[in-house]
Amino acid sequence: MLNDAVANALSVILNGQKAGKENCEIRPSSRIVARILEMLRENGYLGSVESKDTVKGRCMKVNLLGTINKCGAIKPRHSVGKDGFEKFEKRYLPAKGFGLLIVSTPQGIMTHDEAKKKGLGGVLLAYCY
């Protein structure tokens, strides 16, 4: 049994990317994993994302584009205020304006740039560049 679905999903994506695969399957899946994958697709890191229900639970089929250098879950999940993103950008991203942090806010899961624009804080979930 896996302890963290987000960390598992991102490690499957990164391992498939490094192996040169065109697609990978992520299971088990959850709404948070689905939303994170959607965020990565919207920002051009992943191709199509398909969800299918199987006997063992929901499975996500992800088309890999080869654009991810590194991605991972942020553990422990740090709380960050509306003006505290810069510290974590320095810690998890290689350069300013390069890559994204995925944040869970009271208005839903979004990137750190969207959260800054809306003036929201939240809990850091993942990073990708």
Give phi and psi for 45, each to the nearest 5.
-90, -25
- Given this model, what pLDDT does residue 78 score? 94
Domain locations in the chain as residue ranges: 5-64, 74-128
- Given this model, what pLDDT does residue 36 score? 97
pLDDT tens for residues 63-97? 999 999 999 999 999 999 999 999 999 999 999 88
5-64 and 74-128 in the same fold: no
Whether residue 56 contacts residue 128, with contact meaning beta carbons closer than 8 Å, is answered with no
| Local confidence band at 22 (pLDDT 50, 70, 90 cut-offs) | very high
Q: How many CB atoms sit inside 10 A of residue 81's CB?
A: 9
CA distance 124 to 45: 19
Q: Which residue type sits at 121?
A: G
- The residue with greater pLDDT, 53 or 118, is 118
Asked if pLDDT for residue 1 goes beyond 80, the answer is no
Average model confidence (pLDDT) across the chain: 94
User: Domain 5-64 - what CATH class?
Assistant: alpha beta
DSSP H or E stretch at residue 8: helix 5-19
- CATH no., domain 74-128: 3.30.1490.10
Residue 90, CB-side half-sphere exposure with 13 Å CA sphere:
3
Q: Read off the pTM.
A: 0.91
